[in-house]
Amino acid sequence: MYRLDFALRSTEYKTTFCNRVRLKFRICWKFIKFVLSQNLNFLASFVLRRFIIFFFEENIHSIDIKPKIKL
């Protein structure tokens, strides 16, 4: 039972983490496409650079190797 609980919780954690990442990426990508459609290439490159830095910094800190299990 312990192993099943561990597997379910870790799967649930990964799923919510992936959904958050997808949502963030989708929002930023729509904004970048809008900026590019307005021919503001400098702004688009700046936003893209900031997004990559923000995206990877936050994801590195939010990845938790040990699942949180209360005994």
Average pLDDT over every residue of 39-66: 63
* Cβ proximity of 51 and 32 under 8 Å: yes
Residue 23 confidence (pLDDT): 76
Check residues 24 and 67 and name the one with the higher pLDDT.
Answer: 24
* Torsion angle of the four alpha carbons 59, 70, 15, 19, in this order, in degrees rounded to the nearest 10: -50
Check residues 3 and 28 and name the one with the higher pLDDT.
Answer: 28
Query: Cα separation of 63 and 14, whole Å?
Result: 9
Domain boundaries, the chain: 2-62
- Residues 6 or more apart whose CB falls under 8 angstroms from that of 12 comprise none
Instruction: Output the pTM of the full model.
Output: 0.37
Burial of 65 from C-beta contacts in 10 A (0-12 / 13-18 / 19+): exposed
